[in-house]
Amino acid sequence: MKELIINGSKRELDASTVEDVVRLLGLEGRPVVAEVNGEVLTLERWADTATEPGMSIELVHFVGGG
Amino acid sequence: MSGKSDQELAGVVTSGGDTWRIGDREMTSRFLLGTGLFPNPFVQTEAIRVSGAEVLTFAIRRVDLESAEDDSILQHIELDAYQFLPNTSGSRTAEEAVRIARLARASGLSDWIKVEISADERTLLPDPIETLRATEILVKEGFTVLPYISDDPVICRKLEAAGAAAIMPGGAPIGTGLGILNPYNIGLIAEEANIPVIVDAGLGTASEAALAMELGAAAVLMNTPVAKAKDPVNMAFAMRLAIESGRLAYLSGRAPRKRYASASSGLDALVVK
């Protein structure tokens, strides 16, 4: 288990990559964009990007807006 | 629901060939529609359809990790049918806006970005200094940048010089429905700009959308006046008609204003003379 900061909150997840994080949160296949430690992480790099304790991950998407 | 057929809708398009352009995209519709605040996805979908909009705006927010449900707005929208214009709402500095813009582009759905940097929550007025800074940075990064900005002709010139693809002065503060508070400024901005001017924010009803177009705006962007109308679908249609009407009036050139009457029935050969 690793303690990660996801969307501003601490979470313990058994995730070795960012792809695992997305899957464990039930977001697989959804139109989600990831940012890791302040940098955009494109979908192709999710599987190769290893998680580290304390890593800050933002998962965002499009919502209604003007 | 209005139940207007595609044929009915096609009948109201203004004179053929009156297109406009942002970047590589040539457009017929001069109505850009926001996707917030609609009562439900069905009303929203129908409002979008009758509006004839080709460009839809969105916001970028954190995914709700507590909700298992897919709350993405994109599940209700045909992705290939529209140009997406994500905004940077919620940002207070150029850096925050740039961060949101990069996330929006990483979606792979659009490299257009509406720069929206609010100075405070009460007025949501755009911070002109931060907006100019964000525009400069994002233009360098290859975005198609559409800044939402105050109705100030000088900052609008500076945004154009910074490489904005369009400028979007507000008619009044966001969501107020106060209409176009300074028609002189909007008219001057439209007259001076060499890029499209899109009146964005503050409109309330159809006459105000028509006025924006009569003042020379290339297009109008709105959300609240449609989404919060009692009948959003019919209001979307009313706005579309007003935008087309105002555009046609602008192209037609209004008759000059006069201080005193001038008879439209001639006074020659008058019976009672």
What is the arithmetic mean of pLDDT over A47-65?
Answer: 96
Find the DSSP H helices in chain B: 6-10, 41-51, 94-106, 128-140, 153-161, 183-192, 206-214, 224-227, 232-252
Residue A34 lies in a domain: yes
Overall number of domains in chain A: 1
pLDDT of res. B116: 98
Share of chain B above pLDDT 90, in %: 84
**Dihedral sign (CA B195, B54, B205, B244):** positive
Quick check: A66 and B35 CB within 8 A? yes
Option in B35, B106, B109 nearest A65 (CB): B35
Residue A65 lies in a domain: no
Report the CATH number at residue A11.
Answer: 3.10.20.30
Share of chain A above pLDDT 90, in %: 95
pLDDT digits (tens, 9 = 90+) for A14-39: 999 999 999 999 999 899 999 999 99
Whether the CB-CB separation of B33 and B44 falls below 8 Å is answered with: no
pLDDT of res. B2: 56
Question: Which of chain B's residues have a Cβ under 8 Å away from the Cβ of A30?
Answer: 63, 70, 72
Quick check: A65 and B57 CB within 8 A? yes
**What ipTM goes with this model?**
0.96
| B113 vs B129: CA distance, rounded Å | 17
What residues make up the domain containing A33?
2-60
Domain B6-252 CATH class label: alpha beta
Residue B247 three-state SS: helix
Residue A17 lies in a domain: yes
pLDDT of res. B268: 84
CA of A34, closest CA in chain B: separation in Å? 8
Residue A24 lies in a domain: yes
Q: Would you kindly state where each structural domain of chain B is located, as residue ranges?
A: 6-252
pLDDT of res. B91: 98
Residue A7 lies in a domain: yes
Residue A32 lies in a domain: yes
Query: Chain B residue with minimal CA distance to A38?
Result: B99
Question: Which of chain B's residues have a Cβ under 8 Å away from the Cβ of A26?
Answer: 68
pLDDT of res. B50: 97
Strand order in B144-149's β-sheet? B112-115, B144-149, B168-169
Question: Tokens representing B196?
Answer: 């499209």
Instruction: Report pTM.
Output: 0.93
Q: With 90 as the cut, is the pLDDT of residue A13 above it?
A: yes
Option in B60, B70, B174 nearest A30 (CB): B70
Residue A29 lies in a domain: yes
**Parts of chain B with a pLDDT under 70:** 1-2, 4, 6-16, 68, 70-71
Around B96, how many Cα atoms within 13 Å sit in the side-chain half-sphere? 14
Taken as a whole, chain B contains a residue count of: 273
**Exposed / middle / buried, residue B249 (Cβ in 10 Å: 0-12, 13-18, 19+):** middle
Residue A18 lies in a domain: yes
Q: Which of B32, B48, B62 to mutate to test the interface with A (most CBs of A within 10 A)?
A: B62
